Chain A
Amino acid sequence: MNKSIITVVGKDTVGIIAKVCTYLADNQVNVEDISQTIVQDYFNMMMIVDTGRSSKPYSEMVTDLERIGDEIGVRIRCQREDIFEKMHRI
């Protein structure tokens, strides 16, 4: 199990989730949970994913997702879950 958090923030547009999910499926990354809100007209999505079965080097995945975000005009971050777990759970 290798959990990561993918966040997408930006102006709402058609096909954001589709683009991200296609990329994840192509790279054997399993999506475990998706939640989203709209904050001040901004699309705000978080995915919990498992990268354990992916053969893609982690750093490449981070930069690939960033690039996909740039293409559709949103900010996509992929971070290991530990940074959030450590900060918000004792």
Chain B
Amino acid sequence: MINIFEVNETNKMIEQEKLDVRTITLGISLLDCGDSDLNSLNHNIYDKITRLAKDLVSTGKEIELEYGIPIVNKRISVTPVALIAGKACTSPDDFVSIARTLDRAAQDMGVNFIGGYSAIVSKGMTHTDENLIRSIPKALSTTERVCSSVNIGSTKTGINMDAVKLMGQIVKETAEATKENNSLGCAKLVVFCNAPDDNPFMAGAFHGVSEADAVINVGVSGPGVVKHALEGVRGEDFEVLCETVKKTAFKVTRVGQLVAQAASVRLGIPFGIVDLSLAPTPSVGDSVAEILEEMGLESVGAPGTTAALALLNDQVKKGGVMASSFVGGLSGAFIPVSEDQGMIDAVNRGSLTIEKLEAMTCVCSVGLDMIAIPGNTPASTISGIIADEAAIGMINQKTTAVRLIPVVGKDVGDTVEFGGLLGYAPVQPVNKFSCSDFINRGGRIPAPIHSFRN
């Protein structure tokens, strides 16, 4: 039988160490919504989303109340829109109307973000894909809740460098289109390599084609819980350190599994996966950077940071895998700069640079995330950074992503406020040397040798 100490431990995690379920994301397939008439297509999309998601928020709140665990976000992901709109959308503006439909559906369902305004162009780009990509700046500047992602490479296909070049321009155009709001549009745009089909986390969530009609995916969190556990083993060796992270990750993930199953039963929608993640927020005590510093680093970015992050990421997975029957998504520690007070402090102290962050992305989940850079950074430089991250993902068979915000009118030394969970960020310097001749070559980087396993 459960005893008072165990109950107190769980409730302390929730009340003092900010344990929460970061998101319940309802994935919805739009593959059966296709129509050659744009109005009918929009109508079908709105109908399907609102039919399946009508109880999402109320069910999430019910679970929160009954188990006493906060569920921070309830969100929706849909099939990459480029896959369903080919017949009806013949121009970028046609696509924008779909973005508005998604926005309206999300608003009416009471969710703050809807993901899947996406295209998968890892090997080649269809005319439809290109139209969707070119519509992104307008779509993100005229909607509030829509999140967009583009997959430009994979270990199996190599990297589509034409798409990488185009995405550098699109990131710039999105920044310009949303310059009144500190180029906030770019916070809702992710460029991926090896994007997973079942990621519940925004802005990169979409409902992949390998998925069922509808599915519940859950993202857990709990950097504060891990940090607190590590405070109890200061000075101990790495075996003790790793065991402590692993056991804590197990406990955190069990809550995610419970919430996922409860949501699945109550909504009558199959459970997909739990994403084993440490997702920080800007509030103090909810930081991945603080975990790394608790391990013994003076400030994140110091030598040893990559090793510390690697062991954290690995132990989170080892503990989490046993706690959940299905694991997927991005699974690992997130290192978004603006959403993590410890990362922000480290940048301000001068200990954390984009180059070090790039190294860190080799060993953790995702990539260069929520980093503000000078607004005058050339598109080709952004493409170069995207290509570097994609290469790391392609060669290491992992997901990588880039979510950079070239803030119009801002330069190194300025700070940019995004608000809410998106936090704030100091503008970080970017290498000034050009890579435009490299980016302008066009074409594809072939798949790496270790992708040929057949």
Contact = CB atoms under 8 A, between A and B. Distances in A.
A62 to B, nearest CB: 5
10 contacts: A5-B2, A44-B8, A59-B66, A62-B68, A82-B258, A83-B69, A85-B2, A86-B257, A87-B255, A88-B9
A80 B67 contact: yes
A83 B257 contact: no
Contacts of B62: 59
Interface in A72-90: 77-89
A76 to B, nearest CB: 11
B66 A88 contact: no
Enumerate the 10 nearest inter-chain pairs by beta-carbon distance, A residue then B residue, closest first. A79-B68, A46-B4, A86-B254, A88-B6, A83-B67, A84-B2, A86-B258, A87-B251, A87-B254, A35-B4
A33 B3 CA distance: 10
Interface string A21-62: 000000000000101110000001010100000000011001
B3 A35 contact: yes
Contacts of B255: 83, 86-87
Interface in B219-251: 251
A79 B2 contact: no
Contacts of A33: 1
Given A33-B1, A82-B258, A86-B254, A5 B67 contact: no
Interface of B: 1-4, 6-11, 62, 65-69, 251, 254-255, 257-258
Nearest to A85: B2
Contacts of A63: 65
Contact of B6 (A79, A80, A82, A84): A84
Nearest to A62: B65
B318 to A, nearest CB: 15
Q: Which of B2, B10, B11 has the most A CB atoms < 10 Å from its CB?
A: B2
Nearest to B322: A90
B251 A83 contact: no
Contacts of A88: 2, 6, 9-10, 251
A63 B2 CA distance: 23
Given A82-B258, A83-B258, A44 B67 contact: no
B24 to A, nearest CB: 15
A90 to B, nearest CB: 8
A8 B11 CA distance: 11
Contact of B2 (A36, A62, A81): A81
Contacts of A59: 62, 65-66
B356 to A, nearest CB: 35
B221 to A, nearest CB: 15
Contacts of B7: 5, 7, 46, 84
A75 to B, nearest CB: 9
A87 B68 CA distance: 14
A59 B58 CA distance: 12
A37 B66 CA distance: 25
A7 B11 contact: yes
Nearest to A83: B67
B249 to A, nearest CB: 12
- B4, B7, B8, B62 interface centre (most CB from chain A within 10 Å): B7
A86 B261 CA distance: 12
Contacts of A87: 6, 10, 251, 254-255
A8 to B, nearest CB: 11
A68 B68 CA distance: 17
Max count, chain B CB within 10 A of own CB: residue among A79, A86, A89: A86
Contact of B10 (A36, A48, A58, A84): A84
A77 to B, nearest CB: 6
A88 B323 CA distance: 11
A78 B7 CA distance: 11
B66 A80 contact: yes
Given A86-B254, A86-B257, A48 B2 contact: yes
A20 B66 CA distance: 18
A23 B69 CA distance: 24
Contacts of B68: 62, 77-79, 83
